[in-house]
Amino acid sequence: MGLLDRDYMRRSPPLGGGPRWQRYLWIAAIVVGLASASLYLYKNFRAELLPGEGDLIVNVNNATLAELETIPGIGPVLSRGIIKYRPYARVEELERVPGIGRYTLNEIRAYVKVQGETVRR
């Protein structure tokens, strides 16, 4: 009995021969691994370049529409309302804006201010 006649030498390599389902399983595992790694890298890259939701402490008296939309829970309509009812002496005055009540104000309080510059958290 020679060395190549042994059972472990006759088995096919994972991506070489063997059952078709086994090859597809290996390919699927590689594709899923690469996709998840690229998604992870994309999220980190995007987070460093663009301010995301909640990344800024926004001065509501001089913020742009895009900066106001980074506040969690504030969309384009509320952003336009905040700009319409400017200026604000206190954060509590944001309740003048239709659609912002006590609950919404308490949710966004950590992300807004009325004096100083807009800063990154």
> Residue 119: what pLDDT?
84
CA distance linking residue 82 with residue 95, whole number of Å: 10
pLDDT in tens, 61-75: 999 999 999 898 899
What's the longest Cα–Cα distance across the chain? 93
Average the pLDDT over 70-82 and give the result.
92
At a CB cut-off of 8 Å and minimum separation 6, what does 109 contact? Answer: 91
Helix or strand run (H / E) with residue 113: strand 112-113
Distance between alpha carbon 75 and the CA centroid of its chain, in Å? 16
